[in-house]
């Protein structure tokens, strides 16, 4: 047996079990979801009947579906934009914000400690984060924010009970939880850029803003692109925080609802598994389309250094 055949056999044998498990526990559920979306299945106690594309047609007239979709649109704009902007700003300070004599670039003092502080929310479970911010957003003076407002002589604010504020309050929690991870991610990317590039630019008189726009961002663009895709996918989720923080699971008046939450409610509260699967299929294709378009639109020629 040739060395090439032996190598192929080793690789095939090593991948066989992971591929089988992936097909069984990832691909197979997706295929089953597509099948269930074409039925009127209401749970294990009833044999599903084939309804074709009827469930998908119902989505066009479902106001709750469109409200959730509008909320995802807001998330798609705000969550990646705000998170990446903050993460880039903090990562730049932690790696290059300290300056120094003779143009030598370094991070701010205590950068290692700040990295740990920024990353701390990633260690906490999403449910724990939700419970913590329940205390922060309490509508009376026992809440952290309203207690501070009371100290200033202001009336308490219904952060999660006011329709105009509730979703923005939850988005703020999503940003708070996500920023730390991307600070570490962008810090790793900046650390890979040779410091000589920044020092030469500093000696030539380039300011912080010019170095960021002309050097840091172009050389970090691939990492930013990946972060944007990940955050966009996260914007199509939001189930856990909305479930824990929102009033009446998506309220008030549907102001905070998202598609994963509506899928869960439709399936397990109303026993409409076929319709819930149709929502899931629609969400799947929207997520895939977003990722593909983002990678296409933000693609740039790779810069080597």
pLDDT digits (tens, 9 = 90+) for 31-44: 888 998 998 888 77
- Whole-angstrom Cα distance, residue 214 to residue 191? 17
Q: Is residue 16 pLDDT above 70, yes or no? A: yes
Q: Is residue 8 domain-resident?
A: no
In 3D space, the residue among 189, 198, 266, 170 whose CA is nearest the CA of residue 227 turns out to be 189
Question: How many other β-carbons are positioned within 10 Å of the β-carbon of residue 30?
Answer: 12
40 part of a folded domain = no
Q: Decide: helix, strand or coil at residue 50.
A: strand
Domains held by the chain: number: 1
pLDDT at 118 over 50: yes
C-alpha 177/C-alpha 120 separation (Å) is 9
pLDDT tens digits, one per residue of 247-270: 888 888 888 999 999 999 998 888
Residue 271: inside a domain: yes
Rg (CA), the chain: 24
More confident residue, 116 or 223: 223
Domain interval for residue 97: 61-297
Q: Domain for residue 12, yes or no?
A: no
Averaged pLDDT for residues 212-226: 83
* Helices 126-136 and 163-191, axial angle in degrees (round to 10): 130
* Sequential DSSP letters for 205-235: T--HHHHIIIIIHHHTHHHHHHHHHHHHHHH
pLDDT tens track for 94-114: 877 665 544 455 666 777 777
Whether 7 is in a domain gets the answer: no
Percent of the chain residues past pLDDT 90, beyond the cut: 23
User: Which position has the higher pLDDT, 287 or 114?
Assistant: 287
pLDDT of residue 75: 93
Answering whether pTM is above 0.95, one says: no
**50 bridge partner residues:** 39
Assigned domain for 228 exists: yes
Please report the pLDDT score of residue 281 as a whole number: 92
Q: Looking at the domain assignment, is residue 19 inside a domain?
A: no
Closest Cα partner for 300 from 246, 207, 219? 219
**Residue 46: pLDDT band with limits 50, 70, 90:** low
pLDDT band per the 50, 70, 90 thresholds, residue 124: confident
Per the CB < 8 A criterion, the answer to whether 48 and 238 are in contact is no
Tokens of 65: 């579906």
CATH number at residue 142: 1.10.3720.10
* pLDDT score of 237: 87
Distance between alpha carbon 250 and the CA centroid of its chain, in Å?
A: 18
Q: Which two tokens stand for residue 76?
A: 């798609």
Q: Is residue 3 part of a domain?
A: no
* Helix or strand holding residue 248 (H, E): none
Within a 13 Å sphere around the CA of 296, how many CA atoms are in the beta-carbon half?
Answer: 6
Integer Cα distance of 268 and 257 in angstroms: 16
């Amino acid at each position: 047996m040739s060395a090439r055949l032996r190598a192929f056999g080793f690789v095939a044998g090593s991948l066989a079990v992971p591929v089988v498990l992936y097909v069984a526990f990832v691909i197979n559920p997706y295929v089953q979801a597509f099948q269930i979306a074409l039925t009127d299945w209401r749970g294990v106690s009833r044999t599903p009947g084939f309804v074709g594309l009827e469930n998908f047609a119902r989505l066009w007239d479902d106001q709750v579906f469109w409200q959730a979709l509008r909320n995802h649109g807001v998330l798609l704009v705000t969550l990646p934009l705000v998170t990446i902007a903050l993460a880039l700003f903090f990562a730049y300070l932690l790696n290059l914000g300290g300056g120094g004599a003779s143009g030598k670039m370094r991070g701010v003092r205590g950068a290692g400690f700040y990295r740990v502080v920024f990353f701390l929310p990633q260690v906490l479970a999403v449910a724990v984060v939700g419970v913590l911010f329940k205390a922060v957003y309490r509508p009376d003076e026992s809440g952290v924010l309203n207690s501070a407002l009371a100290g200033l002589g202001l009336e308490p604010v219904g952060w999660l009970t006011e329709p105009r504020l509730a979703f923005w309050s939850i988005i703020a929690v999503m940003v708070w939880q996500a920023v730390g991870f991307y600070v570490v991610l962008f810090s790793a990317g900046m650390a890979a850029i040779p410091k000589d590039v920044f020092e030469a630019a500093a000696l030539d008189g380039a300011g912080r803003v010019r170095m960021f726009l002309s050097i840091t961002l172009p050389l970090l663009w691939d990492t930013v692109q990946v972060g944007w895709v990940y955050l966009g996918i996260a914007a199509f989720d939001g189930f856990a925080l909305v479930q824990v923080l929102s009033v009446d699971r998506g309220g008030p008046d549907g102001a905070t609802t998202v598609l994963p939450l509506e899928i869960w409610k439709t399936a397990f509260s109303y026993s409409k598994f076929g319709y819930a699967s149709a929502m899931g299929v629609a969400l799947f294709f929207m997520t895939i389309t977003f990722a593909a378009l983002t990678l296409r639109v933000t693609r740039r020629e790779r810069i080597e250094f």
